[in-house]
Amino acid sequence: MRARVLVVAAVGAAALLLLAACTTTSTPPPPAGITAAQKAAATRSNLEQRWAIVTRENPALVAPRVAIVRYTNYLDAPSTIAACLRRSGYPGTIVTSSNDVVDPTITAARQHPFDVAHYVCDARYPEDPLELGYLSDAQEAFLYSYWQNDTVPCLRAQGLAVADLPPIGQFGEGYEDVGNMNPYAHLKTRDGLSVAVLMTRCQPYPGELYASSASR
């Protein structure tokens, strides 16, 4: 009798394993982040905007050519830029409580040279485009699909009028390109239903998207 029980148990266990194998679906891999070329293009775009601010009173000035030392993140960018400026001849440079990098000892006559030096340090230690939210084409498409196929139907199921998303753009504007399509950005809620509550029912972002960016 004991042998028979063991055989039945073994058969049952095998059946469960077979059933699990048949019903388990593999999770699709997260989309790849921006390529090295896209990262470089995003960095150039950010620095061009920075230089335009520096030369707003003299737009004919040409930006100095600067080699990237390394990319920074939101944690070390201010302190790194401040240290770079101190090494560049501005020992009074500090990081404010709002994470701005300034030199309160700078006179009006030295403000422009300081701004140029600030640009050079920004160019040597630019912020990683992933920190700024830039997405690859694959990530944009992934996010677009999630909003269109998951978030929009979920919000409609809550009794809200939500339009279909417009056609997706391509990488170039970065996160803001797709970010403007976020259904929550144009949402009109009804009485008794707050956005905070809606976000617990209809997740605004897929976690896989940003996990793939952080891993790069």
Domain boundaries, the chain: 36-124, 137-214
The pLDDT-based confidence of 106 (bands split at 50, 70, 90) is: very high
49 or 190, higher pLDDT: 49
Q: What six digits make up the tokens of 89? A: 């001849």
Residues contacting residue 92 through CB under 8 Å, at least 6 positions apart: 103, 104, 105, 106
Query: What is the per-residue pLDDT for 191?
Result: 73
Of the listed ranges 25-39, 104-118, 142-156, the one predicted with least confidence: 25-39
Which of 131, 141, 102 has the alpha carbon at shortest distance from 43? 131
DSSP 38-67: HHHHHHHHHHHHHHHHHTTT-TTPPPPP--
Percent of the chain with pLDDT over 90: 38
pLDDT band, very low/low/confident/very high, at 190 (cuts 50, 70, 90): confident
Query: Alpha-carbon distance 146 to 196, whole Å?
Result: 19
At residue 139, the pLDDT reads 78
pLDDT value at 15 more than 80: no
- Asked whether residue 183 carries a pLDDT value surpassing 90, the answer given is no
User: Per-residue confidence at 170, pLDDT binned at 50, 70, 90?
Assistant: very low
